[in-house]
Structure 1
């Protein structure tokens, strides 16, 4: 039974990876359109003074009609840093009752922006020359009401590599991309790090009101778009858009813990089962000679290598992350423990979970 379940798990994920390798769109360099709509690049920022000097110049160089940074009640000089780099700063208003941080920041940016196409970008995302043209081209080509981008992970320190790149694994090995074309809201996916929408469509949906109390606001927003008859699309950022989400292992633990329960449909039993399953499939074969242990060891490590290759991470250090396969479930245990709590903490704010 163990052998069948373990190999079934890995075979299913391998099939999804192969499908996504062929089907998942990728941003590509494209000539600028002869005439493009008015575009606003919108950055919700809370305590990002250390990040913006590295990421804002790339945004400002895209040729958008405006780049707005909403200072979400920061206490580290975020507003001054953003202004000194050249962005227009929008002072954030205090959160009303019933709103979580990022949805409220995005709602304010919607009202402050003047563009016909609104591109919401997290402060830790880096844009290369031509990235905006590629996003606009993909938005037009896909016909989507919401296009989000999965930036390529750009870890630099060993601590960043332990857990953070697993974001790509969650997207590429668990969600077959063709499902996004189905009309059912449950078959939805989005990445809030980069989201492009047409202003008229966003205003017609009431902005971000529907997800005002969602921790995993991007996926919830994607479901909302689909429930209203909208179309979704996601593209890999490739060489054009990258991100350094978390700068250390402890930051990765806190960041993943914030989203873990919503990703498991709010079910704590499912969360516990997920932790146990990952330990059984990826770690146990290194601790005991369970049925098929040799093949399971190899398959577990190759899976992470395959994810990195599909997402465009092919440097030697990226490929060596495969060696972390058996350790990853152990390193993720603190994530599960924190996610089981009734409240999660992120950037100094506490959010209650069901």
Structure 2
């Protein structure tokens, strides 16, 4: 077989790279117009609301986030202590939350789905809001969520909190959560009936109790590492309605406090996000290096456009999510380095097991626990 001419290879590379970037830019433009933002508001009919916090080793962050959550006016706030080793239960109780002790996980259950299943049984509300311990709430945030849930008529409303990154280490990768959603998932797809056109963010999920109980709670995703999107698609396949909103000025999060924490957190989700396919995971790593980093090392066809895009994309995502402080905008300069910084994530995700919060899970299509 004769070798492929370099000129043809260059043209194919340019077409693929620019096509990929153009597609992502189009998705960003669609989401700039269509993606809802939480705004201050009050629901016309206020249901009974339970706010539910699955917490494992969160004693340090709860004094920062729990007081504002308790001040939202929910009918009850329940913290499930998922067998923590750092006094999480005592901290939560001292701050004023109702605390329940997590029971040992049954065989075949992952940690968070099992914690959420227990919270479902403990709650008394008609609307159940599951929220991670590191989420911050501004005054009126709960009313804004309930108003959005009422406006959309959704059975599941999840929120993409605004990222609050304070150190350089956490800025390197953590903001990519927003980029993954806003540049790959056009929001109008969520209205399609197909379950595959569904997504959710498990950091903040508001669910109507009847819908959640109607699908058996979280049992269907008991072995899923990427349990939020898996649950959203499970619910949608059974007739449930989904909605997503950006947290705007009212709901924020500080996910990871350092670069190593970001690597550990992202690596547990990387393989599920790539359809449990290791070849696809490797291809993704190579593609990002080829499009965002390589044009800064060698002059390839379209290198000027690719260089500009590698810097501009993260800037546009931050503008869209409302992260507009000078330090946030300067994150765009990290674009060419991001594929290199993400290599440890890919490497960890290729392993047969991943570890998160002291628990080890097998990297299988079913996501079975080891």
The two structures have a TM-score, normalised by structure 1, of 0.99
Partner of residue 54, structure 1: 64
Between structure 1 and structure 2, the one with the greater Rg is 2
Count of aligned positions: 353
1:198 equivalent in alignment to 2:214: no
Q: 1:20 aligned to 31, 34, 38, which one?
A: 31
Aligned residue among 268, 287, 290 for 1:280:
290
Q: Is the 8 A contact 2:49 2:75 kept in 1?
A: yes
2:338 to 308, 328, 332: 328
How do 1:222-261 residues align onto structure 2 when only pairs under 5 Å count?
Answer: 222-261=232-271
What is residue 40 of structure 2 aligned with on the other side?
29
Report the alpha carbon displacement of residue 169 of structure 1 after superposing the two structures with TM: 0.3
Which residue of 118, 123, 145 maps to 1:113? 123
Instruction: Report the TM-score, using the length of structure 2 for normalisation.
Output: 0.95
Deviation at 1:34, TM superposition (A): 5.4
| Structure 1 CA distance for aligned equivalents of residues 43 and 151 of structure 2 | 12
For residue 142 of structure 1, what is the aligned residue in structure 2?
Answer: 152
- Counterpart CA distance in 2 for 1:267 and 1:21 is 31
What residue number does 1:298 align with? 308
Q: 1:77 and 2:87 equivalent? A: yes
Equivalent-residue separation in structure 1 for 2:44 and 2:270 (angstroms):
43
Shift of residue 200 of structure 1? 1.2
Distance 1:212 1:175 in 2: 25
Q: Does the 8 A contact of 2:159 with 2:244 survive in 1?
A: yes
Equivalent residue for 2:21? 10
Aligned residue in 2 for 1:101: 111
Post-superposition offset of 1:295 = 1.7
Q: Which 4+ residue blocks in structure 1 deviate beyond 6 angstroms?
A: none
Distance 2:212 2:30 in 1: 31
1:293 Cα shift?
1.1
The one-character-per-residue Cα deviations of 1:21-70 (angstroms, maximum 9, x if unpaired) are 0000100011x345411100000000000110000011101000000000
